[in-house]
Amino acid sequence: MIQQAKAFAEKAHEGQKRKSSDALYITHPIRVAKILEDSGFSDEVVCAGYLHDVVEDTPYEIEDIESVFGPRVAHLVSAHTEDKSRSWQERKQHTIDTVKYAEKEVKYLIVADKLDNLLSMEKEYARQGELLWENFNAGYNQQKWYNESIAQNMSVGLEDSEVPAYFQEFTDAVKRVFG
């Protein structure tokens, strides 16, 4: 199932590039899935890592995910899919609220995604400097608010034993990028 999810994501994101670099978009879901797999999560969570942006950024619908990968994977992807008809601020506040109150597998998916985004942002900032912020719908201050809010809320409701190591990596990256 995991290889099928990777192949599905590769097909769905074919030709897409990352927002702030020339990297192929598929490199992002591959890294997100690797974070989740390396943390020992279920095949469904790993599949959701590969597929997390498919509904948001391609013509595929959540029903396509469900018909191929089942209701659990579709639920995880759906919980993390932003409604692009809403403003940036509304979408990000929804994600913050979701990461605060969602079941742990949804939290794991969201934070793995945000960690990879932030590590990419950090790398591109070293290359582009302040010009990096022009690549996004929101500038430095809004990105800072958003990432700090994710870090503050991601562990709510989790026992210490349920917090994966990459949550600390995310917190550390937020401090490095935003001070």
Question: Mind listing the pLDDT tens digit for each residue in 30-72?
Answer: 999 999 999 999 999 999 999 999 999 999 999 999 999 999 9
Q: Global pTM?
A: 0.95
Residue 20 scores a pLDDT above 70:
no
Range from 1-5, 82-86, 129-133 that averages highest in pLDDT: 1-5
Q: Is the pLDDT higher at 118 or at 22?
A: 118
Instruction: List, in sequence order, the alpha helices (H) in 52-103.
Output: 54-57, 62-69, 71-80, 88-101
State the Cα torsion 56-62-67-70 to the nearest 10°: 100
CATH of 2-178, one of 1.10.3210.10, 2.30.22.10, 3.30.70.980, 1.10.3470.10: 1.10.3210.10
Mean pLDDT, all residues of the chain: 94
- In terms of average pLDDT, the best of 9-18, 20-29, 95-104, 131-140 is 95-104
**In the predicted model, what is the mean pLDDT of residues 111-140?**
89
Termini Cα distance of the chain: 40
Give the active site residues: 56-57
Q: What are phi and psi of 19, to 5 degrees?
A: -60, -40
> How would you classify residue 21: left for phi > 0, otherwise alpha for psi between -120 and 50, otherwise beta?
beta
Instruction: Report pLDDT for 124.
Output: 87
Residue 48 CA from chain centroid, whole number? 10
